[in-house]
Structure 1
């Protein structure tokens, strides 16, 4: 049930995450398990097969051990409750999912947002507490 809920919550963000207007036809990274195929300005959302992630360098899905970058990396979830966690190694521009003590996948925030663990969503840095955001820090 939790996995289904996480999947349903991420669909609107994924659909809004890629605008094919003006982009050349081809495959575009949306997340590590999901990518978009642009054809004539229209996006079609595609899922990688189970156990595979999207490789932005080849435009195909592959086993994580063969993929460079964040999609080829895992995080330790052995002592974490089911949920979404900010990935501080990417300055919170990505977050990852832990289910039943196991790492599931990475997901991306938009270029202007960071992951807010309290709200369990991507948010403006000024609305997120450190280390991911700047909320409460002196401006200047």
Structure 2
């Protein structure tokens, strides 16, 4: 199986096309589509992996672009649903990660020096723990994201 690394071609931004950048064995990047149904796995706003005919394709978008799951291309956040299509104002926030309460903390966003650095998805069943600045189990996380007393 080959792992196809894709990235947006800046020269064809108006066409929003993706171009093949390089091929790497799927084992090198830690994802194997053998035996998996066609579909998107490990989806986030800037990176995603999908399996088609047991071959993995990896798409990476550079901010401010995000993945449009309907077209499987890098796109403007204006054309994408929440949370990836949602901008957060970081101008009055400290540096760090912040839970996206609209997703029940399954997603979080990063701010640094007043700049919004996009949304990120916690692995299945985990929520954003603001104290530890990482995804964690709900039982280890204070409300509103978790159930820790």
What SS is found at the alignment partner of 1:30? coil
Partner of 2:122: 109
The structure that is strand-richer by fraction is 2
After the TM superposition, which parts of structure 1 deviate over 4 Å for at least 4 consecutive aligned residues?
A: 26-29
For each residue in 1:106-131, what CA deviation from the matched residue of structure 2 results, as whole angstroms up to 9, or x when unmatched? Answer: 00012311111111111110110000
How far apart in 2 are the matches of 1:74 and 1:37?
A: 25
Point out where structure 1 has 5 or more consecutive residues left out of the alignment.
1-14
Q: Which has the larger radius of gyration?
A: 2
Are 2:133 and 1:120 equivalent residues in the alignment?
yes
Q: CA deviation at 1:93?
A: 0.7
Are 2:36 and 1:36 equivalent residues in the alignment?
no
Equivalent of residue 60 in structure 1, options 53, 66, 73? 73
The structure that is helix-richer by fraction is 1
Q: CA deviation at 1:71?
A: 0.6
Q: CA deviation at 1:29?
A: 5.7
Equivalent of residue 101 in structure 2, options 78, 83, 88? 88
Q: TM-score, normalised by structure 2?
A: 0.70
Point out where structure 2 has 5 or more consecutive residues left out of the alignment.
1-28
Partner of 2:36: 22
What SS is found at the alignment partner of 1:71? coil
RMSD value, Cα: 2.2
Matched pairs, number = 120
Higher relative contact order, chain-length normalized (CA < 8 Å, sep 6+) = 2
How far apart in 2 are the matches of 1:29 and 1:57?
A: 16
